[in-house]
Structure 1
């Protein structure tokens, strides 16, 4: 008799748990795991609300760049205007080492997009002119508003690039 009652209680508990657990799980509202790219995208979306702009001049072409609001871009703006020779690397980026280190807030974007302006380490300014996947970490500085023709403008070797204020 006691065994039948134990089985009934067990069955009733099991049925109740099967009915309630999914409801409890849903109501807990546990957020999904976020990737580094998701975190960066959310950060970038927040930063795009009020973005200051600079210009990049390459030969006869001028590109407007929307800067993210962070300590690194503030440090970069204090260096402007500046004209630098940017070297070629990997057929997708131009880089130059700056005369001083800047603050960093490194992220691992996973994907680089044409027109991304980033800092590698604390003193290497990088302008990407091709899309590609990456496992490297960078501090995002900004993005070229319209990067069409950027690859052609920077060419295949070293190129002189001027970074300046002046975009309202």
Structure 2
């Protein structure tokens, strides 16, 4: 109740301005605090996040009427996320727009925000160009699962920020 109301003013106005009444969503303010702290401490290098999620622009449309919280057991979706605690995974989508903003406020440059499919395909192309012998080590079926748009390739997003 009241604790959530104190968080609302810290949410970006462009998100608050487009949310319909009775809209349900999940945000993790502490994740963005962590991202900003990591960005501040990063002298040189990259921060990379890979997860289900969306940009600020896509956030409202991407959410389901009851939010994005989902339960999974044996790779099957579970309707009641509170049923059988400890016997299923509970997840929700990341708001990459808030993480991106936290990194940029801390001085990072956003290099990419893309699908896992695009990120991994370009990464593997670069890797194989510099070390062709690595092609023998790649498990093609696993790579297809990670990059196929109908599996993990499109729903997973990748945010890359650098200093």
TM-score, normalised by the number of residues in structure 1: 0.24
Structure with greater strand percent: 1
User: With CA pairs under 8 Å and 6+ residues apart, which has the higher RCO, 1 or 2?
Assistant: 2
